[in-house]
Amino acid sequence: MLNNNDLQLPIHWAARMNRGFRIVALAAPAFIAGCDPIYGISRNSRLSSLPELDCVESAIRSVPRVTTVRRWYTEGSRPLALTGIKPPDHDYYFSYEVEDTGASLYLSVNYRGEVEYSQHLIKIGSPPPQKDIDVVRPVMVEVETALESRCNVRGLHAAIEESCSGVTCEAK
């Protein structure tokens, strides 16, 4: 098993490599590590602004089949731009339970003020049970309806891009 110390190159050696070879040499560990596939449903959009977080939580709780809602915040990545390292993203998470399963709603605000929206039920390595998708997907749509009506998130339904991997996502 490789660890971070195994992947470091001496500075003087890396400085002598041409640019193309350096990129290949530095990217190779990512390919060696491999990538696990992600399966499930994801509903994504950009928002014009960040809705009030208390309103988002209230909108999720307003959906009759939602039983529990949890909310937390983390600082995200610090993007590197031509003008330097930028302030971290602000990442807001809401997880909610529906019957014996659940989903997450994620809002991220980057240093430019751009807001990314995502609702998802995903699993790494194997698809979540189809019965969970069938339970959660209609609730996701209800949450989006509540966000539009209660939190003034205009045009959310029209802007949603849904992706499904390893599962079937049919409107019911």
Rounded to an integer, what distance in angstroms lies between the CA atom of residue 82 and that of residue 87? 14
149 vs 25: which has the higher pLDDT: 149
pLDDT at position 172: 53
Which residues have C-beta within 8 Å of that of residue 17, sequence separation ≥ 6? 25
Nearest of 68, 53, 74, 155 to residue 103 by alpha carbon: 68
Q: What is the pLDDT of residues 117-144, one digit of tens each?
A: 999 999 999 999 999 999 999 999 999 9
- CB count within 10 Å of CB 42 equals 20
Mean of the pLDDT values across residues 76-87?
A: 90
The overall average pLDDT reported for the chain is 85
Q: What is the pTM of this model?
A: 0.77
Judge whether 117 and 45 are in contact, CB under 8 Å: yes
DSSP string, 31-92: HHH----EEEEEEEEEESSPPPHHHHHHHHHTSTTEEEEEEEEEE----EETTEEPPPPEEE
Nearest of 129, 128, 135, 133 to residue 162 by alpha carbon: 133
Rounded to an integer, what distance in angstroms lies between the CA atom of residue 107 and that of residue 59? 14
Q: Determine the topology of domain 38-165 in CATH.
A: TATA-Binding Protein (3.30.310)
For the chain, how long is the longest CA-to-CA vector?
A: 63
Which amino acid is present at 94? F
Q: What is the pLDDT of residues 27-75, one digit of tens each?
A: 444 444 468 899 999 999 999 999 999 999 999 999 999 999 999 999 9
Q: Cite the residue boundaries of each domain of the chain with CATH code 3.30.310.
A: 38-165
